[in-house]
Amino acid sequence: MRDAPVLLVVDDDPRTRGVIEGELRKRYESDYQVICAESAEDPLRLLGSLRDDRRLVSIVLAGQWMSAMPGTELLARVREFHRTAKRLLLIDWGYGPPPEPILQAIALGHIDAYVARPVTVPDERFHRAVTELLEEWARSHLPRFEAVRVVGEERSARSHEIRDLLDRNAVPFGFYPAGSERGKALLRQAGVAAPVLPVIFLFNGRVLVNPANAQIAGALGMKTTPGAGLYDVAVIGAGPAGLAAAVYGASEGLSTVVLEPEAIGGQAGTSSQIRNYLGFPDGVSGADLAVRAYTQAWNFGAEYVYGNPATGLRAQGPERVVTVGGGSEVRSRAVVVATGVSYRRLGIPSLDRLIGAGVFYGAATSEATAMKDREVFVVGGANSAGQAAVHLARYAAKVTVLVRGQSLADGMSDYLSTEIVGTPNIAVRHNVVVTGGGGTDCLESLTLQDRVSGTTETIPAAAVFVLIGAEPHTQWLPDHIARDQWGFVVTGTDLLAAGAPPQRWPLRRPPMLLESSLPGVFAAGDVRRGSVKRVASAVGEGSIAIRLIHDYLRGN
Ligand SMILES: Cc1cc2nc3c(=O)[nH]c(=O)nc-3n(C[C@H](O)[C@H](O)[C@H](O)COP(=O)(O)OP(=O)(O)OC[C@H]3O[C@@H](n4cnc5c(N)ncnc54)[C@H](O)[C@@H]3O)c2cc1C
């Protein structure tokens, strides 16, 4: 067990320490080494020597009430030694609501979860907390089955896109740089001479050279063209709004098809930790939430069509026909447009040339581990930028958040700005904009301008993650679906100019809540004008859209 990852328990009460040790050994000893200590044994020194011995620490479990140092204080320092270790605080049953230090530790991101010490043997509630953290930790640390192997240039935009796509679709994969021994061997074995990279090797022996998204989806057994029949509802986009519409549509007996060109989960799927979604007190990764919602809708019979975007929409009598990239069409009685938004670009050609090669739009969670020990930058002052910074800080040596405004308070939730301030390797620079930067094959530098003094400076940069707002995905919609000046779909009462329906509105009744200026076409989530840009509100709108579609189909 000398090289197995460590589960470290620090607790002063010998009786409960014994129970915890017994429980952990019983369940995990064949794969993990369980080490127990009390606070007087200097757990920080222990963490340091485990680091010096190059041991992997998966979870540190610490009792809160210890003589030498409270558990929250110890856990706050764990990542100085082991950047990716999970931190589980142990409290006592019946203690009541979490006291101040525990709330503060949660707000500052100093613990990942807290759980009551085991009282019965076995205590499945305790084990659930441990296994959930282990599962998250293992994803990036233990060898796993690779359904797909990607061989490509390490810092090419398309390689990054494919890794991101596989990651967000929860497809286990391995990436091998084309120049690495393993990469060269894979190319040789498959007899792919002088290939156009990237090359994809599937678990079933298929090899795809520089494939499009739809080819990858098809080769993985996913459906890439819709059925020819008439659906009740076509949901366009599989972010939280689209997935909610799919769950409610399919579960309420409507034949439902979902179109998604990239990955389930949409923007939420790129979020490393969503902490404000109802029912997940310790937070949930966007990818996890997406997989759960996808499975839920699938279980109810929703059909998914991957790899190609919706490219047009027209009314054909009572039918709504959506044209799909690749040449197919979806016929349906109603449509939910849930295509969300995409990131606003910096508009600096020398940086846009390096997208995927050190310049990333969005949180790019798939890239975080590659940032190990580097100095990276996050541009933006809203929640998405804050979350990206906190996530990256687990791997990078230093993260600098570049904010246009004077303070984080203008655009970021209080809990997140508190966590940023409390994370030692995150720095925040205010009143600063990126005006340039570049590199030969990958990002090497950024040019920053101080908005107050006007001075500029060029600094070395290994990577920059840009999260500066978004534009709606609505260019594919026909002109007669009304949008506001930014391109967001206008719905419901917002369509009633001076109390009257829009010009081409053909019905006697006014548009319903969430209904666009084309009857039977509804918009839900971030793409809709006036929507609250949150997961919960997107989910709410997706479900409300289905309720309204029932009324629409009944002719109300
Ligand atoms: C990094 C990050 C962190 C965030 N964290 C939080 C958080 O902690 N809490 C919170 O409440 N909110 C958070 N948000 C906001 C939240 O993710 C969004 O509000 C939410 O995802 C909106 O859902 P949606 O379904 O409307 O759109 P999206 O999630 O954007 O999904 C739209 C989907 O439509 C697809 N699509 C686009 N065009 C087409 C087309 N032509 N045809 C077919 N499909 C198309 C896209 O590929 C995408 O999958 C975060 C956002 C980001 C980026």
Structure tokens at 192: 């792919």
- In degrees, rounded to 5, the angle at the alpha carbon of residue 160 between the alpha carbons of residues 290 and 525 is 35
Using a 6 Å CB cutoff, which residues line ligand 1?
236-242, 259-262, 266-268, 270-271, 274-276, 309-310, 338-341, 362-363, 383-384, 387-388, 473, 476, 525-527, 533-536, 538
Distance from Cα 345 to the centre of ligand 1, integer Å? 17
Distance from Cα 267 to the centre of ligand 1, integer Å? 3
| Neighbouring C-alpha atoms within 13 Å toward the C-beta of 426 | 27
- The one-letter code for the residue type at 527 is V
Poorest-confidence range of 68-72, 188-192, 381-385, 534-538?
Answer: 188-192
For every residue of 204-234, DSSP letters joined together read TS-EEES--HHHHHHHTT---S--SSEEEEE
Are 341 and 527 in contact by the 8 Å Cβ rule? The answer is: yes
Poorest-confidence range of 98-112, 192-206, 348-362?
Answer: 98-112
> Nearest-CA neighbor of 396 among 435, 356, 423, 415?
423
Report the DSSP pairing between strands 256-260 and 303-306.
parallel
List C-alpha distances in Å: 395 to 79, 84, 106, 189, 389.
Answer: 10, 7, 20, 34, 10
pLDDT at 47: 96
The pLDDT tens digits of the residues spanning 56-96 come to 999 999 999 888 889 999 998 998 899 889 999 999 876 66
Nearest protein Cα to ligand 1, atom 37: 339
Q: Is 502 or 97 the better-scoring residue by pLDDT?
A: 502
Question: For residue 16, what are the contacts with CB-CB under 8 A and spacing of at least 6?
Answer: 63, 90, 117, 118
List C-alpha distances in Å: 290 to 242, 255, 265, 267.
Answer: 11, 21, 5, 10
Distance from Cα 261 to the centre of ligand 1, integer Å? 13
How far is residue 108's CA from residue 79's CA, in Å, rounded to a whole number? 13
How far is residue 450's CA from residue 462's CA, in Å, rounded to a whole number? 21
Quick one: which atom of ligand 1 is closest to the CA of 533?
Answer: 19
DSSP H stretches of helix in 58-204: 71-81, 100-107, 124-139, 157-168, 181-189
Other C-beta atoms within 10 Å of 387: how many?
27
Poorest-confidence range of 23-37, 328-342, 431-445?
Answer: 431-445
Report the DSSP pairing between strands 445-450 and 432-438.
antiparallel
pTM for the whole structure: 0.80
Distance from Cα 1 to the centre of ligand 1, integer Å? 43
The pLDDT tens digits of the residues spanning 87-145 come to 999 998 766 666 777 877 776 678 888 999 988 889 999 999 999 999 889 887 877 78
Quick one: which atom of ligand 1 is closest to the CA of 270?
Answer: 1
Mean pLDDT of the chain: 90
Report the Cα 411 to chain-centroid distance in Å: 20
pLDDT at 425: 93
Convert 464-478 to b/e letters by CB count within 10 Å (16 or more is b): bbbbbebebbbebbe
